Structure 1
């Protein structure tokens, strides 16, 4: 009975960079090219329990920049957060993990990707804003159709 009357809890325990890689497989020769590169950005989100009422949520950005068929650079960054979420109805928990938590993590991921581009000697790539609610709803629709992937993709 005390659990039913308990106050909902939502706290950020920690934000951290979980993984980061930069590859420039065709450097230095490709750096002399004067063409406009093609940029492909893929985002993925994952969430899972790590203890009772404690969850890890990750947002991963994979940025691939190519000149014709050769890779100029590839960045993969995974930003994560640990969240304490207790006394929340089960039907609301998935929305919190898939919408609220990624919205808190994403600004850190955007800054990291931009910073890595600059430090690698390229103009910064600013990841666009993401509507995690629309992404969650699309995943729910795909899951109902038996094809849930959890990946959002865009090309510039």
Structure 2
């Protein structure tokens, strides 16, 4: 019994002396990594009466640098096309530096591909809206995204594919 108390006392003293053994995650910095705005049919495209069809594509990537640092990159490609041609194209690579310590691998992966994109998306959304507005069009206001649910769906699809199962809905 004395040994258990001694071990607990050591842990309490280590915590009191600033030992940092608990899981910690934080966004260190956010930045535009790359951005392109194309307005290929201006000024004619500003006179088109037809509402363009908007195609939005997302891609999330992550890479580690150092033991406790990761970069999460959210790529968003927006293309607006009308019958007459392309109105605009905006490509944005928005990234965040993420500090992470004492986090199990499965939870780290979920944070990097689900939670971190959720945190940085509002900033990227604002940059896209401003870029489209600055190209002479009404601001593009993307709906909020549930990156955590998307992450879980993709994880389930990957696990099903690895198990040799057919995805639901395929005939």
Please confirm whether the aligned pair reaches a TM-score higher than 0.5, indicating the same fold: yes
Number of matched pairs: 143
Whichever structure has more strand as a proportion of its residues is 1
Aligned to 1:143: 158
Instruction: Give the whole-Å Cα distance in 1 for the aligned partners of 2:84 and 2:61.
Output: 30
Whichever structure has more helix as a proportion of its residues is 2
Instruction: Give the whole-Å Cα distance in 2 for the aligned partners of 1:36 and 1:91.
Output: 44
C-alpha displacement at 1:69, in angstroms? 5.7
C-alpha displacement at 1:61, in angstroms? 1.1
Q: Does 1:34 align with 2:49?
A: yes
Aligned to 2:117: 102
For structure 2, which runs of at least 5 residues remain unmatched after alignment?
1-13, 15-19, 163-171
Corresponding residue SS for 1:101:
helix
Aligned to 1:46: 61
Instruction: Give the whole-Å Cα distance in 2 for the aligned partners of 1:41 and 1:47.
Output: 20
Which structure would you say has the larger Rg? 2
RMSD: 1.6
Q: Does 1:131 align with 2:112?
A: no
TM-score (norm. length: structure 2): 0.78
Q: Could you list the runs of 4 or more consecutive aligned residues of structure 1 that deviate by over 4 angstroms after TM superposition? A: none
TM-score (norm. length: structure 1): 0.85
Aligned to 1:62: 77
Q: Does 1:24 align with 2:44?
A: no
Structure with the bigger RCO (C-alpha within 8 Å, sep 6+) is 1
Aligned to 1:73: 88
